[in-house]
Amino acid sequence: MNINNKNKNGFVKSVIMSDKIKILILCTGNSCRSQMAEAFLKQLDSRLAVFSAGTRPAERVNPFTIRAMQEVGLDLSASKTKSVEQFLDQDFDFVITVCGGAKETCPVFFGNVKQRLHIGFDDPADATGSDAEILAVYRRVRAEIQVAFRQFYEDNVRSLIQK
């Protein structure tokens, strides 16, 4: 349930009481970074409604993403890539881009988007070398995403959810 109140300056502020905070994480392919960020936010707080999508979704979640996330106890083996098109008419508290391509091509949402953010990361899909070298890049980006999205949660989300 959302309750709108006016602050001392007459601006409407929203107090979220029982609705879930709705978050969409965008990337170009929805096969690496956005999938990782979605999984970490869902792990942090089950009261969040978290989705990820791509502006040009890949055919499947990258196998290195699945492998890197399994190492930290998160199973993405059944995850599917999704197009941002299916979310354009929905309302979101946050729409977050995690790659420059999605930031530049982020479509216009017809629903209400309260806040847009960009939290950028290197694309691990660009990694080259042996499987071990590629996996090392995925692990690094995974760790960066985990830290950044925990900070996002602490700075932006925790205070919006009543315990």
Which amino acids are annotated catalytic?
Answer: 27, 99, 106
- The pair of structure tokens assigned to 71 is 């190492």
Q: In 10 A of CB 87, how many CB atoms?
A: 21
R_g over Cα of the chain: 16
* Angle at the Cα of 85 from the Cα atoms of 84 and 90, rounded to 5 degrees: 85
C-alpha span between 38 and 125 (Å, rounded): 17
Can you count the helices (H) and strands (E) in the chain? 4, 6
C-alpha span between 18 and 127 (Å, rounded): 42
